[in-house]
């Protein structure tokens, strides 16, 4: 069934700032039209929730239209960036897409824009820079920063809009993002939708009495102001001025909009926490009937009635299309996790062979990428003049300049969100974490924002996250092996090279991938001797395991620094025990390509897995489970799994050696296993 034709007035979802001055009556009529439209759709969806036809957390925007409608009308939909929140249905309707398309999202049917993989207001329109929100409030601020910066880098005069509520204003990401925007001078309007409540919690239980949120702007070196979103005309004028100023100055601003939440937190909210009469007081301040009364008292009276009737009929006819649309089918669900591989990038056949450490090989790789790929950026703490904690980025700032190689503040979450925004808009950032475990600060951004991006929205998120990992005498907080933690979340790829050439290849392969890829770089390998490194046209083979030693007695799987140890162990066992192992360097931890290893296991009937990380919930558990599931009937012995103790990483070298696998311990375990 085709989609019904919308009322003509919806065809121009814009409000030129000048119109507010030249023809305020027409401007207000346009604003009213969209407010009425958004309110009616929100109300109809509440009906469907109550009938059990819409599910999930249905959060309404009733009461917030006085903010979101003028703002979205004033924004430049051709260049600007938004990530609407759960109160911003009006913004979604204005940004684009037929109403049936939005209803399909809420009905989670076969034609849903997220293919019913995400619910309700989480859809966005990434192709048009409306970045789909995730539930974790505050998180999207960083992403808006990145996509806005990406637009500016592409020469487009964009403004970004980062929304959050009074409740979300307490999240760390909001503060990290405001600091980052001010530091980088990004043209972003931070919009606080202050409706007085976070779910059931009033502002009096969220921040100290007397706090005026907009005043926080001063602490970040930006301008701030408050606006009453129940006074639609004044709100529209203030927003027009603010947007114009941010666009012209490229400085961020903070706007605290005093707004309303008329229908509680979500469709299921009992609102039993409201004070007597409080709900009535909200409705008394509702801007929609007040604006209607104003227009109905003037020459627009007839037009108001006519557009309401036209919108009502349109909305009902769209419901008639979306409601009977078939339920979604699970076909293609798993294939949708990762963005499919693109064509290999046209790399130049250089550099020529040189003997390099792994740190130098990564440096050459970064230099090659920055030289050949204009969409690339390198960011991270101390990676500029200092060259990074491990000197991997040494010299890059001098060669490529601060716009492409830059230090970030200690704000891993917002900086990763910023990198995600850049990636979604067509840039390809490479982010260095100073030590892998500082990535836990950005866990939400990595595992829930970046990793799920393609599955839930179809958008590509080409991002390289460099994790200097592994123990190297630095104690608990700089020595983690985090592959199990991160790669247990779907949507992340992971490469873990063990040689300088593999590190060079892995960087190029990760770079050209259209998904977030974690590059695990063992600190103990950065300077473990120099080895030949050159341009390798077969660099994409890094996604498969490499055979390191050949043998028939057992299949031995390892990765990272442990591959070097495993090779020494194999050589020792070959000499002393006269047993030869088929040793594989796994290299790609996600996605897993185990066919070569399985072919080996089918011959050897014995399996050893060695990794540096902890045993319990360790990566070896997954490897052993997968391989044994398929080869159980052919195994001649129980698999042997070797890893670290289930402890935080201890500091003193003697204790660290007791914690992690060492050559002697691995030989002893294998010797005992051989019997």
Contact 377, 149 (CB under 8 A): no
| Residue 643 found at the interface with ligand TPP (CB under 6 A) | no
- Residue whose token pair is 């309700």: 120
Report strand pairing: 516-522 vs 607-614: unpaired
| Residue 121 found at the interface with ligand TPP (CB under 6 A) | no
Kindly state the tokens that stand for 308.
Answer: 């309401």
Kindly state the tokens that stand for 102.
Answer: 């939005």
Query: Applying CB under 6 A, which part among 36-44, 132-140, 373-381, 514-522 lies near ligand TPP?
Result: 132-140
| Residue 195 found at the interface with ligand TPP (CB under 6 A) | yes
| Residue 83 found at the interface with ligand TPP (CB under 6 A) | no
| Residue 669 found at the interface with ligand TPP (CB under 6 A) | no
E strand or H helix at 228, and its extent? Answer: strand 223-228
| Residue 261 found at the interface with ligand TPP (CB under 6 A) | yes
Query: Applying CB under 5 A, which part among 197-205, 304-312, 436-444, 561-569 lies near Mg ion?
Result: 197-205
The smaller minimum CB distance to ligand TPP, of residues 203 and 579, is found at: 203
Query: Applying CB under 6 A, which part among 158-166, 230-238, 290-298, 473-481 lies near ligand TPP?
Result: 158-166
**Residues of 505-524 as b/e, b for ≥16 C-beta within 10 angstroms?**
bbbbbbbbbbbbbbbbbbbb
Min. distance of Cβ 447 from ligand TPP in angstroms? 14
Report strand pairing: 201-202 vs 197-198: antiparallel
Distance CA 462, CA 390 (A): 24
The smaller minimum CB distance to Mg ion, of residues 133 and 159, is found at: 133
| Residue 195 found at the interface with Mg ion (CB under 5 A) | yes
The residues near 198 (Cβ < 8 Å, ≥ 6 apart) are 165, 166, 167, 168, 206
Min. distance of Cβ 125 from ligand TPP in angstroms? 21
E strand or H helix at 163, and its extent? Answer: strand 160-165
| 441 φ/ψ angles, rounded to the nearest 5 degrees | -65, -25
| Residue 85 found at the interface with Mg ion (CB under 5 A) | no
Min. distance of Cβ 275 from ligand TPP in angstroms? 17
Terminal-to-terminal C-alpha distance of the chain: 71
Distance CA 393, CA 390 (A): 8
Q: CB under 5 to 8 A by kind: which of Mg ion, ligand TPP, none does 171 bind?
A: ligand TPP
- Residue whose token pair is 């601060």: 402
Number of residues that bind ligand TPP (CB under 6 A): 17
Per-residue DSSP letter, 547: E
Q: CB under 5 to 8 A by kind: which of ligand TPP, Mg ion, none does 553 bind?
A: none
Catalytic positions:
412, 478
| Residue 166 found at the interface with ligand TPP (CB under 6 A) | yes
The smaller minimum CB distance to Mg ion, of residues 283 and 386, is found at: 283
The smaller minimum CB distance to ligand TPP, of residues 256 and 514, is found at: 256
| Residue 129 found at the interface with ligand TPP (CB under 6 A) | no
Q: CB under 5 to 8 A by kind: which of Mg ion, ligand TPP, none does 137 bind?
A: ligand TPP
**CB neighbour class for 67 (10 Å; exposed up to 12, middle 13-18, buried from 19):** buried
Identify the residue among 109, 148, 151, 171 touching ligand TPP (CB under 6 A).
171
Per-residue DSSP letter, 50: H
Identify the residue among 87, 460, 466, 523 touching ligand TPP (CB under 6 A).
87
Across the beta sheet with 581-585, the strand order is 546-549, 581-585, 554-558, 607-614, 640-644
| Residue 166 found at the interface with Mg ion (CB under 5 A) | yes
Residue least distant from ligand TPP (Cβ): 165
Query: Applying CB under 5 A, which part among 190-198, 266-274, 296-304, 401-409 lies near Mg ion?
Result: 190-198
Distance CA 61, CA 369 (A): 45
For ligand TPP, the binding residues (CB under 6 A) are 87, 135-137, 164-168, 171, 193, 195, 197-199, 261, 265
């Amino acid at each position: 069934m085709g989609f019904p034709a919308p009322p003509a007035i919806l065809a121009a979802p814009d409000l030129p700032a000048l119109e507010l001055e030249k023809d305020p009556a027409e401007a207000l009529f346009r604003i009213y039209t969209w407010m009425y439209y958004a309110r009616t759709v929100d109300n109809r969806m509440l009906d469907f929730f109550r009938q059990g036809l819409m599910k999930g957390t249905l959060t309404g925007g009733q009461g917030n239209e006085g903010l979101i409608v003028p703002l979205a009308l004033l924004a430049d939909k051709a260049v600007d960036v938004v990530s609407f929140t759960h109160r911003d249905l009006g913004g979604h309707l204005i940004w684009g897409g037929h109403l049936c398309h939005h209803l399909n999202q809420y009905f989670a049917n076969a034609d849903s824009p997220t293919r019913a993989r995400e619910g309700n207001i989480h859809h966005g329109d990434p192709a048009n820079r409306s970045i789909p929100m995730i539930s974790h409030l505050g998180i999207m601020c960083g992403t808006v920063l990145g996509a806005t910066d990406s637009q500016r880098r592409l020469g487009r005069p964009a403004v970004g809009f980062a929304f959050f509520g009074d409740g979300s204003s307490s999240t760390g990401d909001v503060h990290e993002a405001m600091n980052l925007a001010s530091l980088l001078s990004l043209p972003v309007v931070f919009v606080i939708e202050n409706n007085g409540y976070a779910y059931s919690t009033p502002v009096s239980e969220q921040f100290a009495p007397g706090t005026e949120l907009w005043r926080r702007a001063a602490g970040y070196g930006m301008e701030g102001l408050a606006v009453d979103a129940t006074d639609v005309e004044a709100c529209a004028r203030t927003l027009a001025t603010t947007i114009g100023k941010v666009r012209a100055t490229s400085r961020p601003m903070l706007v605290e909009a005093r707004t309303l939440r008329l229908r509680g937190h979500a469709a299921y909210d009992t609102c039993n926490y409201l004070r007597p009469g409080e709900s009535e007081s909200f409705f008394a301040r509702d801007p929609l009937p007040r604006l209607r009364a104003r227009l109905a008292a003037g020459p627009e009276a007839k037009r108001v009635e006519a557009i309401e009737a036209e919108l009502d009929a349109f909305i009902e006819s769209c419901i008639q299309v979306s409601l009977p649309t078939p339920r979604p089918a699970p076909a293609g669900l798993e294939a949708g996790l990762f963005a499919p591989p693109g064509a290999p990038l046209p790399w130049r056949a250089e550099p020529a062979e040189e003997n390099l450490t792994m740190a130098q090989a990564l440096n050459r790789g970064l230099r090659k990428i920055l030289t050949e790929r204009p969409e690339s950026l390198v960011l991270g703490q101390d990676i500029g003049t200092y060259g990074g904690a491990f000197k991997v980025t040494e010299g890059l700032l001098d060669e490529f300049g601060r716009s492409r190689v830059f230090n970030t503040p200690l704000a891993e979450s917002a900086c990763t969100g910023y990198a995600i925004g850049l990636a979604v808009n067509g840039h390809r950032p490479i982010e260095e974490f100073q030590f892998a475990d500082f990535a836990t600060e950005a866990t939400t951004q990595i595992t829930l924002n970046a990793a799920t991006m393609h599955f839930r929205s179809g958008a590509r998120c080409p991002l390289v996250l460099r994790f200097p990992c592994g123990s190297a005498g630095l104690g608990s907080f700089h020595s983690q092996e985090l592959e199990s933690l991160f790669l247990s979340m779907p949507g992340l790829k992971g490469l873990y090279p063990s040689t300088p050439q593999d590190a060079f290849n892995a960087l190029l392969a990760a770079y050209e991938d259209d998904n977030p890829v974690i590059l695990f770089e063992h600190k103990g390998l950065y300077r473990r001797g120099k080895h030949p490194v050159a341009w390798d046209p077969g660099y994409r083979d890094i996604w498969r395991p490499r055979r390191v030693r050949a043998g028939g007695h057992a299949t031995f799987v390892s990765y990272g620094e442990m591959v070097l140890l495993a090779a020494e162990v194999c050589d020792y066992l070959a000499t002393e025990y006269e047993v030869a192992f088929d040793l594989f360097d796994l290299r790609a931890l996600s996605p897993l390509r185990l066919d070569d290893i399985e072919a080996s296991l089918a011959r050897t009937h014995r399996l050893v897995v060695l990794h540096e990380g902890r045993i319990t919930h360790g990566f070896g558990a997954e490897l052993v489970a997968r391989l044994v599931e398929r080869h159980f009937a052919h195994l001649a012995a129980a698999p042997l799994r070797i890893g670290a103790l289930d402890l935080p990483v201890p500091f003193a070298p003697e204790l660290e050696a007791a914690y992690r696998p060492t050559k002697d311990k691995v030989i002893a375990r294998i010797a005992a296993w051989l019997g």
